[in-house]
Every structure is written in structure tokens, then in C-alpha cells.
Amino acid sequence: MNRKLIVATIAIIAVLLYYLLYVSSGVEPSTANSNNRASEETANPLSVKQESHSTQMIRESEPDGSLPPESHSASRWCSTETEPEHSESVRTEKESLEWDIERGNILLAAEDSVFEFPNAVLLAPYAELDLQDLIAHAKNDDLFALLTIMQRRDVPMKHRNNAARHLTVMGNTSTALSHLVALELTRANHIFEMEGQVNEQVKTHLVNSLTYVSYGLEQLDVTALRSYLYFVQRHKNGSYALDLEAALSQKEVETVKFARAQFKQYLNHKRQEKYLSTIEEKAFPKVAKRQFEKSLALEYRTFGSLILGSNNLKNMGFDFENLPDCAKRLF
């Protein structure tokens, strides 16, 4: 094992010891261990047909997103009405961190950013590793190595895209899905600008992106939706040519439900190869619902009119106009 890998291992052990020490003492933890593992997938997980058109690379940075699944019952939406007791705060913070790790909500810290990245310490040991070392870790199903590969700007886009695809197999629904949404919409816009029309290739990429959005919402994660809304907003601002809300007919948008079922079937097949449980067997922690609702509320502040005015979301079965009072108070 070379010196860099030894340093990375020591750093990870230190992070985990720090987490265990402060959870036991009642202090808010800043890191946690992960049993999630990931390996490289080269096939596109969506079962819709793929295009051979030459495309531009995805932009180096993508936004985040937020919204809910198809069921909007009070039991789903009102968990934030009662905040956790003080005695539960440590447990809640621990569950929040575990949930962030499970869904891959971990951003690589950027040196030129003024924003904080709370979970970035988990990726710190990998940030300075060379690409070959990162790939070696990824081949050993290292979740944090894969998240680093996907986000590092010096990594070739092919590796970043492959990392995002198989992170979804491992259960990631946050950063990985957001990356894939942005990838599909960047390709769709490139073809639209080259061809001057919404052809079948453009529609295929758009359906792919909406499939990721729909799946993310079903899994109580808003990040893929946020990425989609970002591109809708860019079109309104004139910096993105393709009108995503007008490119597909209602019937074409309704096919997303079938595409999502195929995507889940693909994920379950790949998970079975890794001896992982199916997507349907996944149980959401209580904190997942609370985080989902609060994230949705934040998205309403930024994209409220785009959310309520989206025919694509409505045609996929996500209608956010008729919400219970408890949810409206969040917004």
C-alpha cells in the first residue's frame, strides 16, 4: 500500500473515532461510518434507447433540487409539525448524517467557494489522491472514492458519469441523480441546438432526466428535481435554448412512470449481483421524511412558480397545488 493510501486510511479512521467519541458524549457529530459500497458500472441504467450523436460534456458544476413523491397524504407531509425533543437531538443528528451518507448527499469542498460543506470531511482523504489511486478505491467498492471521482474537476467526464451511474445502483439518490439529470439535459440541449428541432433523441434525453427526477422524489430526495428546475429557470433566463416544459406531449411525459419502473428493475438486477436488498425493501428513517419536507419548502422559496406551473411534474403525477395545511405552513 503506497503512502497516500496509508494516509487516507488513517484519516478515515480518525474521522470515525471522532464521530463515535462525540456521539457518545452528546456533542453534535460531524462524520459517520458508511457500510455502503460501490463499483464501476459502464452501462446506462435507463432502458430507453440511446443516441449515437456526438455531445458536449456536462457542465462542471450542477445545482441541487427538491420535491415529494406521488402520495401527498397528511401522514407523509406532516411529520415536521412536531420538532424532536432536546433529548432526541443527538440521535436525530446521527440519523441525519447516516441518511445523508446513504443517499450520497456529500459534496466535495471547493477551495474557491464561500459556502460550507458539512459532510466534506468524509471525502477529504480522497481529495488529493491521484486518479489511479481513486480508481483503485472505486474498484474496491469505496463509496467515498466514487463520490470524489464524480465531483473532482480534474477527472475525465467519462469516469465521472460512470461513477454517478453505479452510485445509483448502490442506493445514492442525491448528488449522483443530480449529475445524471444535468448530463441528460445538457445532451438534449446540444442536440436541439445542432438540429434546430425537438427530435426523438432530444425527447429520449428529456424522458431520461424526468425518470431520474421521478425516482428521486419517490425515494424522498429532492436533489434531482432541483437540477431539473435549474435548467427550466435557465431557459426562462435565456441561457438554455430548449423549453423543457414544451418539448414533450402529455402522453410522452406519462411514459416516465413506465421508464421509472424499468429503471428500478435495472437497479434491482444490479443490486442482486452485489447481494444487496431490493429498492422496494428499503425502509426510510423518520428523519428522511422531515428532511424531505424541509427541503421541499426551501425549493418553493427558489422555484415556487416553476414548481406549480410545471405540466411535466403534473403529468408525472406530482401535483403540489393541493397540499395539507401543515405543508403549506412550511412554504
Q: For residue 329, what pLDDT is reported?
A: 64
Determine the Cα–Cα distance for residues 86 and 47; give it in Å rounded to an integer: 47
The three-point CA angle 110-114-116 to 5° equals 70
| Structure confidence at residue 298 (pLDDT) | 87
Average pLDDT over residues 134-145: 92
Residue 11 has pLDDT above 60, yes or no: no
Q: What is the reported pTM?
A: 0.76
- What value does the mean pLDDT take over residues 53-65? 36
217 neighbors 173 (Cβ within 8 angstroms): no
More confident residue, 321 or 298: 298
- What pLDDT does residue 86 have? 56
Q: How confident is the model at residue 109 (pLDDT cuts 50, 70, 90)?
A: confident
Q: Which conformational region is residue 317 in: left (phi greater than 0), alpha (psi within -120 to 50 degrees), or beta?
A: left
**DSSP tag of 303:** H
The average confidence (pLDDT) of the chain is 79
Other Cβ atoms less than 10 A from the Cβ of 293: the count is 24
> Residue 28: what pLDDT?
35
Q: Which residue has the higher pLDDT, 55 or 232?
A: 232
Residues spanned by the domain of 224: 3-330
pLDDT value of residue 35: 39
Given a contact cutoff of 8 angstroms between Cβ atoms, the answer to whether 157 and 168 are in contact is no
Contacts 24+ apart (CB under 8 A), 184-188: 184/208, 184/209, 184/212, 185/209, 185/227, 185/228, 185/231, 185/242, 185/244, 186/55, 186/56, 186/57, 186/58, 186/59, 187/51, 187/53, 187/55, 187/56, 188/242, 188/247
* pLDDT tops 90 at residue 201: yes
Instruction: State how far the alpha carbon of 278 is from the alpha carbons of 8, 38, 171, 270, 272, in Å.
Output: 32, 15, 10, 10, 7
Neighbours of 91 (CB within 10 A): 14
Q: What is the pLDDT of residue 73?
A: 37
Q: Is the pLDDT of residue 274 over 80?
A: yes
Percent of the chain with pLDDT over 70: 68
Task: Give the pLDDT confidence score for residue 90 in this predicted structure.
Answer: 77
Higher-pLDDT residue of 308, 76: 308
Mean pLDDT of 131-158: 93
CA distances from 259 to 9, 205, 231, 265, 308 (A): 40, 12, 21, 10, 23
Q: What is the total count of domains within the chain?
A: 1
For the chain, what percent of residues have pLDDT higher than 90?
57
Q: How far apart are CA 90 and CA 22, in angstroms?
A: 10
Cα(248)–Cα(294) distance, rounded to whole angstroms? Answer: 30
CA distance 312 to 18: 45
pLDDT tens readout for residues 227-256: 999 999 999 999 999 999 999 999 999 999
Angle, vertex CA 63, rays to CA 74 and CA 162, nearest 5 = 105
pLDDT in the model for residue 173: 97
